[in-house]
């Protein structure tokens, strides 16, 4: 059954920059040479950096996991070849910040020996969650340049119904041709990946979108998709930035993705064609993501082309393989000329999001064009695909009026660079927007930190106040009068009360003992005196110490008195 062609819609703005694609498609793609060492940054995707699971000195096999995903939005990293781990420390990474980050360094052993893996041929037997798990464990992220973990975009949630799965083969940015070559050379892997994605999403229909400046790719994909139920291939007119997700969704479905919303919210999911091929390899062959197609181009290389590159390969080695004229290269750019960023070191490694390296000469970059004041021509607003007011955004970003920039929807800007491209004053507008976004982000982080510090302080004050109240309550309880013994049940006796009671009993016993001893001594004295006088003593009357009492006897009496008094005063009760 033949299917109706895809009805195409329009989007606002856009430009037609010089393509510069032909030069890198003149020869077929080929595998890049095995490098001397591979530097694998642990942060090659959007989300948290992966965590190493290997140690220095360990040997690894090709495809072996060397770092685990760290959290939900993260992706594991695998060894691109067999070899030895020779370092795990900070290395410069290809990022606009120019910063360094943790990386695992592998010295290849030249055997390129694979780890044992299990192909999973019949994906239709598996439920979507099982497939997503394999895709996650294979470390697959969006290969169109964004690097968002793919399994997340294949999980719309049980409540969301996906009507359309769009495979993005638009590749609208100048110079980049890696998707074009993949579609020409390996359409079957893309179509197999599309089936798996459709099954995972339970999508009603699929559309593969290709710009009309890639007739070979269109033909190749159309052949591979011929006769497939619910799969259509759309040839869309070339216009930049049509490959941007929101613009492509609008062109294919006629629906606008809401501001701050996702395509998912309108029943559409969009994946890159190279991501589909990677998913095919993960599910059917059991192979994780360890390499990708990269366009090496620009006037600084004599043999521009596409190479299948292992992650971690130094860019310098790729340039050598493309006959670079290093003294001619003014700037190295990762990505395209519109949305890419400059690299400051030719030793930087290729990562999962590296789709293109442009070795640009001075003439190519147009660096000699002077920046002039804004003439308020409005050309920037005419081409903005998001219908923003780039000129106002520029003024506010320049004046660091960040609140006002946000009022003009700064964060809806997709940094496509159309405004800068058409600006007759050559103002690098996107750089101002990136600066403003970065400043707002930093401010928010600082606010967040100070909010957390304030919360901690308030919590501490509350705790101190609570402890104070508890102490006062205890003190008040101690001071309260003891309950009367009216109750038939004696109140419970605490430790202090018990000690006082024992002390009183001990004093009383001592006093009794001392009194008894005094009586005995007085009786003995009476007996002595009676003996001397030859009279019997009066039994009831204790004798007093008199002059006849010997010092020893008097001392005995005194000691007895003192002992009874001291005992009463000094007796310690444990």
Residues that bind ligand SF4 (CB under 6 A): 374-380, 383-384, 386, 388, 390-391, 393-394, 413-419, 423-425, 427, 429-430, 433
Which tokens go with 365?
A: 């970059």
SS3 content of the chain, % helix, strand, coil (to 5): 40, 15, 45
Q: What is the largest CA-CA distance in the chain?
A: 153
The minimum distance between CB 331 and ligand SF4, in angstroms, equals 20
Q: For residues 15 and 7, give the distance between their C-alpha atoms in angstroms, rounded to a whole number.
A: 22
Phi, psi of 264 (to 5 degrees): -55, -35
Residue closer to ligand SF4 (CB basis): 50 or 413: 413
CB of 219 to ligand SF4, least distance (A): 32
The least CB distance from residue 402 to ligand SF4, in Å, is 16
Count Cβ atoms within 10 A of the Cβ of residue 63 and give its class: 0-12 exposed, 13-18 middle, 19 or more buried: buried
DSSP SS3 for 240: strand
Round to whole Å and give the CA distance between 99 and 436.
Answer: 19
Closest to ligand SF4 by CB, 173 vs 186, is 173
Nearest-10 crossing angle of helices 187-201, 215-225: 60
Q: How far is the CB of 414 from ligand SF4 (least distance, A)?
A: 5
User: Based on CB atoms, which residue is closest to ligand SF4, 106 or 388?
Assistant: 388
Q: Shortest gap between Cβ of 378 and ligand SF4 (angstroms)?
A: 5
User: How far is residue 432's CA from residue 146's CA, in Å, rounded to a whole number?
Assistant: 21
Whichever of 176 and 525 has its CB closer to ligand SF4, that residue is: 176
In DSSP terms, 10 is beta-bridged to: none
Smallest distance from the beta carbon of 72 to ligand SF4, in angstroms?
Answer: 29
Q: What angle do CA 52, 56, 62 make, to 5 degrees?
A: 70
Locate 131 and state its tokens: 């497939």
d(CA 430, CA 338): 10
Check if the beta carbon of residue 21 is closer than 8 Å to that of residue 180: yes
Of the pair 241, 300, the CB lying nearest ligand SF4 is at 241
Closest CB 312 distance from ligand SF4, rounded Å: 32
268 vs 339, beta carbon nearer ligand SF4: 339
Minimal distance, residue 146 CB to ligand SF4, in Å: 16
Q: Are 54 and 80 in contact (CB under 8 A)?
A: no
Q: How far is CA 427 from CA 392, 395, 529, in A?
A: 13, 11, 131
Reference 348, options 369, 377, 318; nearest CA is: 318
Q: Which is nearer to ligand SF4, 315 or 423 (CB)?
A: 423
Q: Which is nearer to ligand SF4, 9 or 411 (CB)?
A: 411
């Amino acid at each position: 059954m033949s299917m109706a062609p895809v009805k195409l819609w329009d989007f606002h703005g856009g430009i037609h920059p010089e393509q510069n694609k032909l030069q890198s498609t003149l020869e077929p793609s080929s595998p890049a040479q095995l490098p001397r060492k591979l530097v694998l940054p642990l942060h090659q995707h959007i989300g948290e950096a992966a965590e190493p699971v290997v140690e220095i000195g360990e040997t690894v096999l090709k495809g072996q996991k060397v770092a685990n995903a760290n959290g939900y939005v993260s992706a594991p990293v695998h060894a691109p070849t067999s070899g030895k781990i020779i370092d795990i420390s900070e290395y410069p990474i290809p990022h606009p910040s120019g910063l360094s980050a943790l990386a695992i360094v592998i010295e290849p052993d030249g055997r390129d020996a694979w780890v044992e893996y299990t192909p999973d041929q019949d994906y239709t037997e598996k439920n979507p969650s099982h497939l997503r798990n394999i895709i996650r464990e294979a470390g697959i992220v969006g290969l169109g340049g964004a690097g968002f973990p793919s399994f997340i975009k294949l999980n719309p949630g049980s409540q969301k119904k996906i009507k359309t799965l769009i495979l993005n083969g638009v590749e609208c940015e100048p110079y980049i041709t890696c998707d074009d070559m993949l579609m020409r050379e390996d359409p079957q892997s893309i179509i197999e990946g599309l089936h798996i994605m459709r099954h995972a999403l339970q999508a009603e229909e699929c559309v593969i979108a290709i710009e009309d400046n890639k007739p070979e790719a269109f033909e190749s994909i159309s052949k591979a998709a011929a006769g497939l139920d619910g799969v259509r291939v759309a040839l869309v007119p070339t216009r930049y930035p049509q490959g941007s997700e929101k613009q492509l969704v609008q062109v294919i479905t006629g629906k606008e993705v809401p501001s701050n919303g996702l395509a998912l919210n309108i029943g559409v999911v969009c994946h890159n064609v190279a991501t589909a091929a990677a998913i095919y390899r993960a599910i059917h062959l059991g192979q994780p993501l360890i390499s990708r197609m990269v366009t090496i181009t620009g006037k600084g290389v004599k043999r521009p082309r596409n190479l299948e590159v292992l992650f971690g390969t130094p860019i310098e080695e790729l340039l050598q393989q493309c006959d670079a004229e290093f003294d001619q290269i003014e700037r190295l750019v990762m990505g395209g000329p519109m949305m890419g960023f400059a690299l400051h070191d030719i030793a930087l490694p290729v990562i999962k999001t590296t789709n293109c390296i442009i070795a640009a000469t001075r003439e190519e970059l147009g660096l000699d064009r002077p920046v002039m004041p804004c003439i308020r021509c409005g050309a920037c607003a005419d081409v903005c695909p998001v219908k923003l007011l780039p000129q106002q955004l520029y003024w506010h970003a320049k004046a660091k009026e960040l609140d006002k920039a946000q009022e003009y929807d700064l964060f809806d800007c997709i940094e496509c660079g159309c405004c800068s491209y058409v600006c007759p004053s050559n103002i690098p507008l996107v750089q101002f927007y990136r600066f403003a976004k970065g400043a707002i982000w930093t401010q928010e982080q600082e606010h967040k930190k100070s909010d957390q510090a304030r919360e901690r302080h308030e919590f501490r004050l509350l705790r101190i106040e609570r402890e104070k109240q508890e102490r006062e309550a205890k003190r008040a309880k101690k001071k309260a009068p003891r309950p009367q013994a009216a109750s038939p049940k004696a109140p419970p006796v605490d430790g202090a009360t018990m000690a006082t009671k024992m002390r009183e009993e001990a004093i009383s016993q001592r006093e009794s003992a001392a009194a008894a001893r005094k009586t005995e001594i007085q009786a003995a004295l009476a007996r002595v005196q009676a003996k001397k006088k030859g009279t019997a003593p009066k039994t009831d009357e204790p004798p007093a110490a008199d002059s006849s009492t010997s010092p020893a006897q008097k001392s005995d009496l005194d000691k007895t008195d003192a002992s009874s008094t001291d005992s009463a005063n000094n007796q310690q009760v444990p």
